[in-house]
């Protein structure tokens, strides 16, 4: 019998304990400098204008309260995933993220980059300082991931095997450089990149499943996937579920906490109702992320 999904956030620890897990590993959490975070939340407040749908942020809380929420949920490891929208931002975002992670041992130290001449230098500095995951947002940054300025960056990340969480699908808004084609081109150049395709590549689910099947180090994260909110806007074809099951070792829990329009528990319940079984849930909610980041058992 399958473990019943959580009914609310207070029920989340019961859920992962009954699955036999020591907690959750969430690869898609954001902690940003306060002014940047405020601007992100202001954008979501105007979501009706931007997306044509309301997006009420569920956890618009001070940093310490957000950390406390994750602790109560049992999220044992998570990144901060900064991302720039223009040149000249990445290095100082990386500095802020390094300081924030240093104060909180549960955080996977995160960094980012942008197509600019300085990128190879500050990416090398971040790697030397112990960064464990990078974040790239093709839609917000509005750049082609195949930009020649990033060739040495991708080559170094392919060499080190450092995971890169990359928002490259065309949801919730299509961008000039979103979609599977730029990523397919990038992977042709750097087939050993350890990419984590954010949001399962929504809405181009099928094409990003293709890439994950073709390249053994491509992962998919579940951020907002299969939730009621997303299913209304970008539904997932149930016929694709067997392929998602077959890729269970490379699907990772992601949530987009704190800027989600529903409780955290709903993301977990949405994954449970896919009907892929408790073994799939154990792999996705904890084991795959723990293995990717070398976390202790």
pTM: 0.97
pLDDT of residue 40: 96
Pairwise CA distance, residues 222 & 201, whole Å: 9
Cα of 261 vs its chain's centroid, Å: 16
| Average pLDDT for 41-55 | 91
Q: Looking at residues 5-23, what average pLDDT do you find? A: 98
Laid out side by side, the sheet with 219-221 consists of 110-112, 133-137, 164-167, 195-197, 219-221, 251-252
Q: Classify 219 as helix, strand or coil.
A: strand
Task: Give 225-283 pLDDT, tens digit per residue.
Answer: 999 999 999 999 999 999 999 999 999 999 999 999 999 999 999 999 999 999 999 99
pLDDT band at residue 293 under the 50/70/90 scheme: very high
pLDDT tier, 52 (very low <50, low <70, confident <90, very high otherwise) = confident
Q: Over the stretch 269-282, which tens digit does the pLDDT of each residue have?
A: 999 999 999 999 99
> Hey, which residues does 78 pair with through a beta bridge?
107
Give the pair of three-digit tokens for residue 136: 């790239």
Q: How confident is the model at residue 296 (pLDDT cuts 50, 70, 90)?
A: confident
Output the DSSP codes for 4-25.
Answer: PPPSSGGGHHHHHHHTT-S-EE
User: Please, which pLDDT band fits residue 224 given cuts at 50, 70 and 90?
Assistant: very high
């Amino acid at each position: 019998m399958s473990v019943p999904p959580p009914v609310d956030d207070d029920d989340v620890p019961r859920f992962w304990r009954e699955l036999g897990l020591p907690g959750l590993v969430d690869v898609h959490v954001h902690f940003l400098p306060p002014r940047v975070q405020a601007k992100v939340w202001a954008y979501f407040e105007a979501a009706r204008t931007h997306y044509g749908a309301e997006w009420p942020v569920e956890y618009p809380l001070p940093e310490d309260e957000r950390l406390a929420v994750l602790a109560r949920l049992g999220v044992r490891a998570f990144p901060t995933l900064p991302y720039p929208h223009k040149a000249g931002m990445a290095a100082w975002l990386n500095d802020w993220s390094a300081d924030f992670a240093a104060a909180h041992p549960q955080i996977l130290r995160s960094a980012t980059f942008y197509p600019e001449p300085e990128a190879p230098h500050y990416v090398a500095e971040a790697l030397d300082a112990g960064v464990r995951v990078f974040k790239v947002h093709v839609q917000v940054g509005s750049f082609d991931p195949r930009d020649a300025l990033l060739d040495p960056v991708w080559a170094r990340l392919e060499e080190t095997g450092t995971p890169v969480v990359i928002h490259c699908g065309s949801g919730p808004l299509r961008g000039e450089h979103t979609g599977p084609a730029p990523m397919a081109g990038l992977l042709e150049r750097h087939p050993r990149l350890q990419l984590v395709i954010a949001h399962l590549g929504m809405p181009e689910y099928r094409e990003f499943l293709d890439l994950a099947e073709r390249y053994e180090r491509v992962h998919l994260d579940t951020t907002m996937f299969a939730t009621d909110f997303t299913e209304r806007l970008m539904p997932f074809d149930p016929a694709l579920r067997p392929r998602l099951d077959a890729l269970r070792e490379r699907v990772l829990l992601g949530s987009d906490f704190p800027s989600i329009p529903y409780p955290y528990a709903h993301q977990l319940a949405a994954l449970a109702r896919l009907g892929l079984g408790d073994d799939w849930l154990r792999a996705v909610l904890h084991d795959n992320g723990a293995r990717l980041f070398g976390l202790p058992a």
